[in-house]
């Protein structure tokens, strides 16, 4: 029996992880309720892409996917940094220009999203002979002012795939069976 493949966005997993959203399958659309955040993301991505290796990598892997069981996790990388043959992932989150720290939920969602991307990219890097760093970066910025506030260092977690399945199990109907 063929199980239907269920697509899930990494960003939706992250929001659901902190209780801010559901996991209803939806098509990727670049729409935001905050154009200032989109503009800042685009600017930060362009700064990283000044490195030709980053630009080449993102051209080939801007959208990534990895399947686990009948779940197809999809996502779009904000950026990467190269340190020789070692690759670190970079994720950006923005906050209102009147605050100096992200909320605990925003920060935790960003960390989980980055962990999902790390899990997704690992086999791609291995195929290309690249090494996954043990340090990845969540950058927190103010919208409007574009001020860099702080960075959270994220280390890979071998439980990420299990955490994805546990999260999916909490959302009735998204999967038929938890493995």
pLDDT digits (tens, 9 = 90+) for 112-142: 999 999 999 999 999 999 999 999 999 999 9
Burial 110-147 (b: 16+ CB within 10 A, else e): bbbbbbbbbbbbeebbeeeebebbeebbbbbbbbeeee
Q: Which two tokens stand for residue 27?
A: 């098509």
Please count the residues of the chain.
Answer: 179
pLDDT at 24 over 80: no
The per-residue pLDDT for range 59-89, each reduced to its tens digit, is 999 899 999 998 999 999 999 999 999 999 9
The CATH class for the domain spanning 6-169 reads: alpha beta
User: How much is the pLDDT for 33?
Assistant: 67
Q: Is residue 111 a contact partner of residue 93, using CB atoms and an 8 Å limit? A: no
User: How much is the pLDDT for 62?
Assistant: 82
Across the chain, which distance is largest between two alpha carbons, in Å? 54
- The residue ranking higher by pLDDT, 40 or 151, is 151
User: How much is the pLDDT for 2?
Assistant: 66
The per-residue pLDDT for range 25-60, each reduced to its tens digit, is 666 555 556 888 888 888 888 888 889 999 999 999
pLDDT at 176 over 60: no
Average pLDDT, the chain: 88
Q: Which two tokens stand for residue 75?
A: 């996502």
């Amino acid at each position: 029996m063929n199980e239907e493949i269920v697509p899930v966005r990494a960003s939706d997993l992250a929001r659901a992880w902190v209780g801010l959203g559901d996991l209803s399958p939806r098509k990727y659309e670049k729409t935001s309720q905050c154009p200032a955040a989109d503009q800042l993301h685009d600017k930060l991505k362009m700064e990283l892409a000044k490195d030709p290796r980053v630009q080449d990598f993102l051209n080939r892997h801007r959208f990534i996917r990895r399947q686990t069981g009948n779940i197809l996790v999809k996502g779009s990388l904000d950026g990467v940094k190269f340190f020789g043959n070692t690759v670190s992932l970079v994720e950006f989150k923005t906050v209102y220009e009147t605050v100096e720290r992200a909320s605990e939920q925003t920060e935790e969602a960003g960390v989980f999203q980055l962990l999902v991307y790390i899990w997704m990219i690992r086999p791609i890097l291995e195929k290309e002979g690249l090494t996954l760093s043990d340090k990845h970066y969540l950058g927190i910025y103010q919208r409007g002012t574009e001020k860099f506030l702080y960075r959270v260092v994220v280390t890979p977690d071998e439980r990420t795939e299990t955490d994805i399945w546990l999260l999916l199990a909490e959302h009735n109907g998204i999967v038929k069976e938890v493995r």
